[in-house]
């Protein structure tokens, strides 16, 4: 732009007088510039103001408000549903009173969230008022500067740009095709998670109905020779704690309950390093779980039977502070939820700083384990019954009724995009879900539900019609 304006200036310089002497005396040429000099310093000022303005408003501030808003919207909707459930089922006795109290508490939390949102929006508004004033000033300055564009080059350029933009937009709109309502995001080679079928298997464990809390599954990355094994952890003390991992050589030995081997973490229960909470996973020959009474990720190595750990961020909720829940039922001590997917192990938790909304962290399989990247979502942990990960996307479920659990939410860690509109149903055999996890190797979901163990097939878009 500078060089352009410069050449414009030169072409508008006029020769005012020319004297040619016949007698051979030197020629004198006088040049006079009829146009005003270009105010470069003014352009510099505008440039500086523009970059300052860019620095003031960052996508982060805008994202915080929209995240809060999204979470609030979904909670209000769920609250409304809870109230209508209460109205339907109110028997005028204790159940109603208890539920009402829960809804009161929920309302108080929603109010807190609204105050925070109000504050965020107000500070954003102040910021944008200031920015608008600055932009207006810059616009006027630029208009003044444009008077120097005698040949209208800049103007034409801008028109071209505008037309190109319109064309691009038009093209994008043509290409955009809407996804079916239940298709989820993600970058799986096998396509998107579109449905879940099953239960494919359904059974009581060897313990019978003794332990309503627990987890089971298959190691997605088993040690050589252990490919066919299944693991089972039942919370044998107060439905909160466990001190050993049970393993079976095959699905059928598990069903009939023969030949289990137990790997003991400690001889007493509970104590330092034992398991707290049901949402544990097995990956790469090690069990990942929440460590007894501490905000730590613990890893129990199944081959050398040692425990290593890594601390979660300060204030991470443990000891039943931020459990999974629905209406008036909380799943006790489900503060930490471990998950496996194609990329490894994840931990799902929350803290007061994130308003009880879910945080996702990678757990990297170093020795000792370390936490990798983390993501903050707008999904309130108490409005969710469980979560699992598939191809870097977090999915959350909620209680729909005694027979159905619904996958209603997703968070894509690659794009940060959240959705609250998934409608993928899981058929249950018992009302409650204490743990749920995805195995990327056999692409199945493993569920522990009121002492029963179930498995489901995950259906992806690319395998649907294959
Ligand atoms: C949000 O802030 C404004 C300005 O202070 C106030 O008038 C309004 O009542 C607040 N709204 C809520 C829900 O607190
Ligand atoms: C999902 O799977 C269930 C069980 O196989 C089936 O009944 C249902 O129609 C499927 N839903 C969609 C949208 O394909
Ligand atoms: C478990 O211990 C064995 C033997 O010390 C070691 O080779 C292996 O890497 C460990 N596994 C994990 C996940 O730390």
Encode pLDDT of 215-264 as tens digits: 999 999 999 999 999 999 999 999 999 999 999 998 888 878 888 999 99
**Ligand 2 pocket, mutate which of 195, 403, 458 (most atoms under 8 A from CB):** 195
Identify the burial level of 139 via C-beta atoms within 10 angstroms of its C-beta, where 0-12 means exposed, 13-18 middle and 19 or more buried: exposed
Contact 251, 240 (CB under 8 A): no
In the predicted structure, residue 16 carries a pLDDT above the cut 70:
no
Average pLDDT, the chain: 82
3-state secondary structure of 431: coil
Residue 263 alpha carbon to ligand 3 centre in Å? 15
Which tokens belong to 6? 């410069």
Dihedral of the alpha carbons of 321, 383, 211, 229, in degrees to the nearest 10: -100
Residue nearest to atom 4 of ligand 3 (CA): 304
Percent of the chain surpassing pLDDT 70: 76
Dihedral of the alpha carbons of 435, 436, 439, 445, in degrees to the nearest 10: 130
| Range 24-53 average pLDDT | 70
Residue nearest to atom 14 of ligand 1 (CA): 115
**Ligand 3 pocket, mutate which of 221, 301, 302, 365 (most atoms under 8 A from CB):** 301
At 196, which helix (H) or strand (E)?
Answer: strand 193-204
Residue nearest to atom 10 of ligand 1 (CA): 118
User: Where is average pLDDT lowest: 13-27, 75-89, 181-195, 278-292?
Assistant: 13-27
* The predicted structure's pLDDT at residue 309: 97
For residues 209-218, one letter each, b for 16 or more C-beta atoms within 10 angstroms of the residue's C-beta and e for the rest, the string is: eebbbbbbbb
Residue with tokens 């408003």: 57
* The predicted structure's pLDDT at residue 176: 45
Give the model confidence (pLDDT) of 41-59 as tens digits: 777 777 777 777 666 666 6
In the predicted structure, residue 37 carries a pLDDT above the cut 80:
no
Ligand 1 neighbours, Cβ below 6 Å, are: 114-115, 118, 122
Report which bound ligand comes closest to the CA of 199. Answer: 2
> Is 303 touching ligand 3 by the criterion CB < 6 Å?
yes
Residue 115 alpha carbon to ligand 1 centre in Å? 8
Contacts of 148 (CB under 8 A, 6+ apart): 5, 8, 9, 35, 36, 38
Give the model confidence (pLDDT) of 323-362 as tens digits: 999 877 899 999 999 999 999 999 999 999 998 999 999 9
Q: List beta partners, residue 30.
A: 17
What's this model's pTM, rounded to 2 decimal places? 0.70
| H-state helical runs in 147-258 | 153-175, 251-256
* The predicted structure's pLDDT at residue 119: 80
In the predicted structure, residue 269 carries a pLDDT above the cut 70:
yes
d(CA 230, CA 284): 13
d(CA 265, CA 139): 69
Q: Which atom of ligand 1 is nearest to the CA of 111?
A: 13
Which tokens belong to 398? 């909620």
User: Where is average pLDDT lowest: 168-177, 226-235, 289-298?
Assistant: 168-177
Greater model confidence, 463 or 310: 310
In the predicted structure, residue 149 carries a pLDDT above the cut 70:
no
Give the pLDDT band (50/70/90) at residue 71.
confident
Which tokens belong to 262? 């137990």
Residue 195 alpha carbon to ligand 2 centre in Å? 6
Residue 170 alpha carbon to ligand 3 centre in Å? 56
Q: Give, in words, the CATH class of 179-463.
A: mainly beta
Residue 118 alpha carbon to ligand 1 centre in Å? 6
d(CA 375, CA 51): 29
Contact 283, 364 (CB under 8 A): no
> Is 257 touching ligand 3 by the criterion CB < 6 Å?
no
d(CA 243, CA 236): 8
Give the model confidence (pLDDT) of 389-398 as tens digits: 999 999 999 9
Greater model confidence, 13 or 167: 167
Give the model confidence (pLDDT) of 402-455 as tens digits: 999 999 999 999 999 999 999 999 999 999 999 999 999 999 999 999 999 999
């Amino acid at each position: 732009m500078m060089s352009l304006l410069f050449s414009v200036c030169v072409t508008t310089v006029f020769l005012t007088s020319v004297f040619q002497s016949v007698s051979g005396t030197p020629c004198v040429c006088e040049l006079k510039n009829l146009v005003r000099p270009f105010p470069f310093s003014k352009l510099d000022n505008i440039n500086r103001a523009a970059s300052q303005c860019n620095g003031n408003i960052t996508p982060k501030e805008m994202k915080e408000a929209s995240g809060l808003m999204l979470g609030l919207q979904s909670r209000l909707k769920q609250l409304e549903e809870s109230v209508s459930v209460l109205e339907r089922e109110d028997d005028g006795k204790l159940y109603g009173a208890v539920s009402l109290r829960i809804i009161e508490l929920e309302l108080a939390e929603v109010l807190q969230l609204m105050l925070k949102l109000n504050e965020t929006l107000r500070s954003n508004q102040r910021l944008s008022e200031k920015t608008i004033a600055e932009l207006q000033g810059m616009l006027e300055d630029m208009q003044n500067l444009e008077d120097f564009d005698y040949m209208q080059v800049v103007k034409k350029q801008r028109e071209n740009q505008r037309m190109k933009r319109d064309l691009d937009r038009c093209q994008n709109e043509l290409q955009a095709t809407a996804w079916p309502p239940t298709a989820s995001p993600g970058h799986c080679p096998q396509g998107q998670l579109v449905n879940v079928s099953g239960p494919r298997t359904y059974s009581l464990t060897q313990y019978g109905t003794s332990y309503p809390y627990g987890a089971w599954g298959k190691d997605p990355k088993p040690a050589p020779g252990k490919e066919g094994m299944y693991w089972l952890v039942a919370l044998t003390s107060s439905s909160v704690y466990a001190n050993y991992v049970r393993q079976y050589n095959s699905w059928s030995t598990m069903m009939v309950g023969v030949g289990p081997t137990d790997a003991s973490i400690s001889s007493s229960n509970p104590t330092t390093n034992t398991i707290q909470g049901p949402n544990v996973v097995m990956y790469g020959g090690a069990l990942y779980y929440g460590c007894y009474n501490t905000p730590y990720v613990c890893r129990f190595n199944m081959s050398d039977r040692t425990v290593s750990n890594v601390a979660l961020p300060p204030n991470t909720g443990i000891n039943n502070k931020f459990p999974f829940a629905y209406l008036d039922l909380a799943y006790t001590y489900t503060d930490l939820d471990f998950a496996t997917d194609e990329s490894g192990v994840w931990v799902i938790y929350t803290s007061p700083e994130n308003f009880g909304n879910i945080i996702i962290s990678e757990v990297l399989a170093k020795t000792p384990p370390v936490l990798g990247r983390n993501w903050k979502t707008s999904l309130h942990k108490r409005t969710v019954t469980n979560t699992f990960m598939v191809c870097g996307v977090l999915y959350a479920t909620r209680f729909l009724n005694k027979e159905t659990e619904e996958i209603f939410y997703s968070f894509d860690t690659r794009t940060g995009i959240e959705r609250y509109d998934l409608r993928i149903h899981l058929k249950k055999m018992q009302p409650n879900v204490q743990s749920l996890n995805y195995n990327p190797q056999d692409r199945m979901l493993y569920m522990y539900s009121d002492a029963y163990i179930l498995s489901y097939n995950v259906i992806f878009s690319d395998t649907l019609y294959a």
